[in-house]
Amino acid sequence: MRLDWELARRGYRRYAAYPGATAAGLFTNVFFGLLIAYILLAVYDQRTDVGGYDVGDALAYVWLAQGLLAVVASYGPSWSELALRVRTGDVATDLYRPVDLQRALFAQDVGRAGYQALWRAAPQFLLGAALFDITVPTDVLRWLAFGVSVCIAIAVSFAIRFLVNLTAFWLLDYRGPMMLALTVTHLFSGLIVPLAFFPEPFGDLLRALPFAAMLQTPIDIWVGEPLGGSTAGALVLQAAWALALVLAGRLALAAGTRKLVVQGG
């Protein structure tokens, strides 16, 4: 536990070392947030409700999604860092350390997510809330459920990135799979457009997939539109995905390690 805490702190500090990059990233997210907000407002010129989202919900989506994208690392080096170490063979030294690789990386990723939540998501969201009339839950339980859901989303996001990185054990090129994974996660996590905007039954199907658990699920909970109408149900599904993906990561790492040992890297 002590080690996890230290690793998380290191993950936090690694990003805290570049306040200029944080400010610039925040600026970019705010700019995109404004653009998407105006675009969605043009949609709501003609509609009052899209897939259960009213205009306040849609605007809340914009500022939550733009804020959370840094927290769940929709972009960034963590999509290929480990893959690069696999490529170069440096991963062998990671595997010889007396700590579990997946757990150590997760601890660091939690630190990273904490930094982004504090310095990217929070200011971003406050600014959006100040500029636009967005939905804010008044119910304490819903706030709580949202918080829990964001934590699970970080775990799901980590588990997916971990799996994508591990493809480097088997595939020669790590950039191709990474781009493919980015495409799929961006579209299906609800980063591009709320999944509720997709035509039925597509929308509901996408909301049940693990990608939605990265981003869309916490936002659905915030605006009071959880999948199937049950917040508890949405959280259970999200947690199940987290568990399954983490386990899949462990299996993949074990298989990759075996391959490394057999072929000597």
Applying the rule CB under 8 A, the residues between 155 and 174 that interact with other proteins are 172-173
* Amino acid (one-letter) located at 47: R
The 47-66 site mask, x for binding other proteins (CB under 8 A), equals: x--x----------------
Give yes or no for residue 35 binding other proteins (CB under 8 A).
yes
Question: Within a 13 Å sphere around the CA of 205, how many CA atoms are in the beta-carbon half?
Answer: 5
Using the contact rule CB under 8 A, the part of the chain among 94-102, 104-112, 120-128, 189-197 near other proteins is: 189-197
Q: How many CB atoms lie within 10 A of CB 155?
A: 23
Give yes or no for residue 31 binding other proteins (CB under 8 A).
yes
Give yes or no for residue 13 binding other proteins (CB under 8 A).
no
Query: Which tokens belong to 218?
Result: 């916490």
Q: Of 72 and 253, which CB lies nearer to other proteins in the complex structure?
A: 72
- Separation in Å, CA 178 to CA 19, 96, 231, 265: 27, 26, 32, 21
For 20-52, the three-class secondary structure string (H helix, E strand, C coil) is HHHHHHHHHHHHHHHHHHHHHHHHHCCCCCECC
Residue 139: its H or E element: none
Rg of the Cα atoms in the chain: 19
Applying the rule CB under 8 A, the residues between 196 and 255 that interact with other proteins are 197-199
Minimal distance in Å, beta carbon 34 to other proteins?
7
- Separation in Å, CA 102 to CA 51, 94, 253: 38, 10, 8
Give yes or no for residue 18 binding other proteins (CB under 8 A).
yes
- Which residue shows structure tokens 């205009």? 55
Give yes or no for residue 88 binding other proteins (CB under 8 A).
no
Q: Of 172 and 262, which CB lies nearer to other proteins in the complex structure?
A: 172
Minimal distance in Å, beta carbon 41 to other proteins?
7
Minimal distance in Å, beta carbon 176 to other proteins?
3
> Which parts of 199-230 fold into alpha helices (H)?
202-208, 212-223
Using the contact rule CB under 8 A, the part of the chain among 44-52, 89-97, 119-127, 241-249 near other proteins is: 44-52
Residue numbers of the site for other proteins (CB under 8 A)?
A: 18, 20-21, 23-25, 27-28, 31-32, 34-35, 38-39, 41-43, 45-47, 50, 172-173, 175-180, 182-183, 186-187, 192-193, 197-199
